[in-house]
């Protein structure tokens, strides 16, 4: 199913690489949650109208879903896309886009009442580019064509652990204004090296699965907590 996303050079490095050990299992799990693999997205696909290079929105998926959820406003889809592009360049940490995203009137981008009316896709190694600056999350998740989440999955005992991911986000991605539009549209960022939780002095994330949201310069990584109905001690 996912063969086309694997780079032949990676395959030559051996069977047990990051793609086969953590990315593939994560993608298989996403299919169990109801996500569909969109396929490998290449940068030249932007010129074919498959996605919008300014926002990484999957254009045809977005337009189809827009018409489905807003039949009385189907002629406004291009204007809404222009408005979204403008909002994502605002220096407001994505607040204006978030307001649009959760709005239910007069236009809906997501049907929060009936999840089955939405589409859920994912792809791997989808480049976020602005000029000469770029970054490439391991996995990107889409709801109705909107890239609302990305996941960075690293193999166990990766160099630097989750600390390395935290530094990369807080020191390289968040401060870079060229990445602002991609950070503003992303509602959730997930990081995992597929290990049991461990922190340095109870604060700094070292191993496990963590999440954060957009920031201008520094975002704390938060732990996922298992439900503990019996109140057992950890």
The neighbour count for residue 103, using CB atoms within 10 Å, is 12
pLDDT of 148 reads 99
Domain ranges of the chain: 3-223
Q: CA dist 163 to 41, 116, 210, 217, Å?
A: 29, 37, 11, 16
Using the structure block, give the residue that is written with the tokens 């994330």: 205
For residue 123, the SS3 value is: strand
Is the Cβ–Cβ distance between 151 and 137 less than 8 Å?
Answer: yes
| CB of 198 closer than 8 Å to CB of 156 | no
Look at residue 179 in the predicted model and tell me its pLDDT.
96
- Phi-psi bin for 3: left (phi > 0), alpha (psi -120 to 50), beta? alpha
> How far is Cα 21 from Cα 40, in angstroms, rounded to an integer?
19
Per-residue pLDDT 10s for the chain (234 aa) are 555 444 544 445 455 566 677 889 999 999 999 999 999 999 999 999 999 999 999 999 999 999 999 999 999 999 999 999 999 999 999 999 999 999 999 999 999 999 999 999 999 999 999 999 999 999 999 999 999 999 998 877 766 777 888 888 999 999 999 999 999 999 999 998 877 766 565 555 667 788 899 988 788 888 776 666 566 554
Spatial distance between the Cα atoms of 123 and 27, rounded to a whole number of angstroms: 8
| Residue 221 pLDDT | 84
* 131/30 Cα distance (integer angstroms): 31
| pLDDT at residue 58 in the model | 99
For residue 24, give the nearest of 210, 137, 153 by alpha carbon: 153
Instruction: Note the pLDDT of residue 2.
Output: 56
CA dist 188 and 71 (Å) reads 29
């Amino acid at each position: 199913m996912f063969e086309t996303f694997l780079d032949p050079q990676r395959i030559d490095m051996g069977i047990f690489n990051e793609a086969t050990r953590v990315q593939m299992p994560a993608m298989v799990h996403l299919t169990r949650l109801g996500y569909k693999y969109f396929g490998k997205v290449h940068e030249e696909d932007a010129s074919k109208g498959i996605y919008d290079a300014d926002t990484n929105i999957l254009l045809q998926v977005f337009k189809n879903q827009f018409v489905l959820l807003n039949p009385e406003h189907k002629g406004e889809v291009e204007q809404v896309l222009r408005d979204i592009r403008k909002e994502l360049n605002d220096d407001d940490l994505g607040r204006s886009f978030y307001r649009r995203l959760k709005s239910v009137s007069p236009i809906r981008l997501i049907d929060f009442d009936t999840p089955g009316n939405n589409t859920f896709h994912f792809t791997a190694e989808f480049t976020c580019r602005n000029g000469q600056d770029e970054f490439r999350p391991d996995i990107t998740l889409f709801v109705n064509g909107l890239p609302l989440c990305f996941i960075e999955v690293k193999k166990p005992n990766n160099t630097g652990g989750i600390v390395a991911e935290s530094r990369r986000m807080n020191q390289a991605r968040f401060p870079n204004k060229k990445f602002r539009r991609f950070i503003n549209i992303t509602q959730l960022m997930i990081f995992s090296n597929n290990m049991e939780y461990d922190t340095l002095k109870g604060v700094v994330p070292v191993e496990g699965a963590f999440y954060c949201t957009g920031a201008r310069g520094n975002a704390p990584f938060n732990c996922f907590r298992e439900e503990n109905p019996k109140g057992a001690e950890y």
